[in-house]
Structure 1
């Protein structure tokens, strides 16, 4: 009965949509025989793998902690990579869960997710939010999303050693992942190469997580004139950043962790303007003049300000960049 118990558990854990294995190419089984095929003659691991392949075979890549100011093309590629990597992540997480194992996660001094397993958790959160939150939600703070958010958090706790105090961070990350997925759907299926909207039917490879009604509502929202105005404004702003981020999918927290490890430093964090500059150094090691000028101003300002005013380096960087 071990494999039967495992299969039933998978069915209820991921009941959006119900799990039904595809029929054999050489036969056309009836609903009753399909049920027999689903739960008999298969080991627990085989059921798990088939379940995951069935549920996520349409997903093509996974998104990580990319900067919100990436252009539309880069963002699209990142999300595709996130979704595909989610397949492997899900399998490893479920296998570990079946063994009663949980993954460890760690946090930086600034309470940011860092290695090990930071990418695994971020990917898993992306998979969960696509299952439990509709793509048509307009307000992430809506009370209607409470049940879905609670399900996401409970699933995270089942597979990761994570404190209750981290719930807010994880739910906020889920919101970012959902926004990225929506942008991916728009750019991939609703727009041509010039960015003009085109007629598009629901992509069938996402039919298991997006209903026909949900897709129609999503398309209608994306065609709304007000949405176009906001979208165009954000696109123009993101396409010409004054100080482009050059570390790709590596976020600030992981970059800081890497630098501290390379320097074998006992410090738990870097000055904000030092990290900011490091994030804008290209592969060739070159630093553009505008970035270097900001860094130099931060160095000068941090040495001239009274110690009572220098609470942290973020305030110094904010003053130089003239941002709140």
Structure 2
């Protein structure tokens, strides 16, 4: 299979696992579409199920009938119900559709006229869970508030994202696992996403931002202390506390 794909596409050996993972997910989605749209509307043995749908004439009749038979097996139904129950327990349900985060960012690029460049995965995570009316579910709202607070802390130099210990990790209180990164999509591993080489210009800009934030905080603190000292010296208590040859108090 891999050799056949290499004849059709330019692929690196390291991408083999990711390619097969994508193919596997696509096949699962296709089977799910066939079951939900062309099989489960009918009763077992229905004449409408004797042949594959006109839209999928490339599916052989024998292959189709075997697939239909498996779909109505009690074993499959039990497995399907179990999957439904598991999905109900999912928190922070997304609204990405079949195109995933890649499709979401593509649509966003089109909306902004190609102005979208680097976007934090916390932002894509939220975009993927936004309703059509621009609102979030209650559980997502809580995370949105945390993300807002953490971004403010980054601006103030109180929180410095480092690798996978970034804003979204802190907001969800959950580190990305080895197989997927929240806010990015399937088959993007932590090592692939977080170990991307940063150009020298980007490193310099990031270092300058951190220095500027820290300098601004120090300057603000210095001004506050200066104001406190001035107020203290100008007060009666301050005047009485200074030793002079002719005490006034």
Q: TM-score, normalised by structure 1?
A: 0.41
Alignment of 1:1-324 (within 5 A): 147=1, 149-151=2-4, 153-154=5-6, 156-157=8-9, 162-192=11-41, 197=44, 199=46, 200-203=49-52, 205=54, 208-238=57-87, 242-256=91-105, 259=108, 262=112, 264=115, 267=118, 269-270=119-120, 272-300=121-149, 303=153, 311-319=165-173
Q: Deviations over 1:77-126 (max 9, x none)?
A: xxxxxxxxxxxxxxxxxxxxxxxxxxxxxxxxxxxxxxxxxxxxxxxxxx
Q: Give the gaps of 5 or more residues in structure 1.
A: 1-146
Deviation, structure 1 residue 240: 7.3
CA separation in 2, counterparts of 1:309 and 1:266? 19
Q: What CA distance in whole angstroms lies between the structure 2 residues aligned with 1:175 and 1:279?
A: 23
Spell out structure 1 runs of 4+ moving beyond 6 A. Answer: none
Task: Give, in whole Å, the separation in 1 of the partners of 2:56 and 2:101.
Answer: 35
Contact 1:277 1:292 in 2 (8 A): no
> Radius of gyration: which is bigger?
2
- Change over 3 Å in CA distance of 1:219–1:179 after alignment to 2: same
CA contact (8 A) 1:192 1:198 kept: no
Of structures 1 and 2, the one with the larger relative CO (CA 8 A, separation 6+) is 1
Q: Which moved more, 1:309-318 or 1:212-221?
A: 309-318
Q: What TM-score does the superposition give when structure 2 sets the normalisation length? A: 0.51
In structure 2, stretches of 5+ residues that fail to align are 178-249
Tell me how far 1:231 sits from its aligned partner.
Answer: 0.5
Q: Does the CA-based 8 Å contact 2:150-2:167 persist in structure 1?
A: no
Task: Give the CA deviation at 1:236.
Answer: 3.8
Cα distance in structure 1, aligned partners of 2:65 and 2:148: 53
Superposition deviation, residue 165 in structure 1? 3.9
TM-fit CA distance, 1:252: 1.2
Per the alignment, residue 191 of structure 2 pairs with none
Displacement of 1:293: 0.7
For residues 224-259 of structure 1, the C-alpha deviation after alignment (integer angstroms, 9 at most, x for no partner) is 322211101223444675433234444213434555
CA RMSD in angstroms, aligned pairs only: 3.8
